[in-house]
Amino acid sequence: MKHTIYDNISNGKARAHKAFAVLIDPDKLNEAGLLMTIDLAIKANVDYIFVGGSLVVTDTLDKVVSTIKEKSTIPVILFPGSPDQITPKADALLYLSLISGRNPELLIGQHVISAPFVRQSGLEIMPVGYMLVDGGTPTTVSYISNTNPIPANKNDIASCTAMAGEMLGLKLIYMDAGSGALRAIPTAMISQVAKYIQIPLIVGGGITTAEKAKENCLAGADIIVVGNAIEKDPALISEISNAIHSLNK
């Protein structure tokens, strides 16, 4: 039976298998950088490649996804900053509803407008409760989304938000301190959220070390996402991947 990507993620969670997703922002890598990142990701057994950014201002999305698909078998999952960041060349789409915010456009409005296009894309659609958590600095995504992140010490707000997302039928929760956050999400918040939900938990934003990635997994994250830090230091790809996978049996 052909397993979908979501099946893999949720089977992984059932087996307490921790996964690593490298985030590629098509605007931040030139071709050589992209090829190097793909090569390092393959060698490091990276589980997923997320592609997207708050502001993809070039038309490189299609090309970046095609290049990744040509060179590797790592599943490519779109992490779109807006509904126009969609290409059928990827494998799956994080269909994000910004449940930490109160901007109706990002809860449902943009989804309505893009629904026919999204369905037609043929992508595997994974409905995600996307939760921004304060990372100590205003991030592009909090500015663009015009929403307040959840304060980093409000664990109850975070866990109730995640629970509501799960009961509404969302299939994944993604807690994000935003790209380049000064402070990654505190482990206490991750463990509280993980305790209150059964669906897989993705955590990202401001993770810059293998230790932090591992600590987040031990706190209950199922998938760790890193973008910025590996753009600056690509050697971190294997370091973080090894640290995360060292937790798997």
Asked if 150 touches ligand 1GP (CB under 6 A), the answer is no
Position among 12, 83, 88, 180 found at the interface with ligand 1GP (CB under 6 A): 180
- 145 contacts ligand 1GP (rule: CB under 6 A): no
Find the binding residues for ligand 1GP in span 2-61 (CB under 6 A).
23
Among 26, 80, 127, 204, binds ligand 1GP (CB under 6 A): 204
**22 to each of 99, 100, 203, how far by Cα in Å?**
23, 23, 12
Q: Confirm if 132 and 178 have CB atoms less than 8 A apart.
A: yes
Q: Note whether 129 binds ligand 1GP by CB under 6 A.
A: no
Contact 241, 20 (CB under 8 A): yes
Looking at 131, 207, 236, 243, which residue binds ligand 1GP (CB under 6 A)?
207
> What is the size of the binding site for ligand 1GP (CB under 6 A)?
15
DSSP code of 122? -
**Contact flag: residue 101 with ligand 1GP (CB under 6 A):** no
Among 110, 179, 216, 241, binds ligand 1GP (CB under 6 A): 179
22-50 b/e (C-beta count within 10 Å ≥ 16 → b):
bbbbbeebeeeebeebbebbeebebbbbb
Site map 223..242 versus ligand 1GP, x via CB under 6 A: --xxxxx-------------
What residue number has its CB nearest to ligand 1GP? 204
In a 3-state reduction of DSSP, which class is residue 143? helix
Contact 223, 190 (CB under 8 A): no
Task: Report in angstroms the alpha-carbon separations of 48 from 114, 140, 244.
Answer: 25, 23, 13
Residues that bind ligand 1GP (CB under 6 A): 23, 176, 178-181, 204-207, 225-229
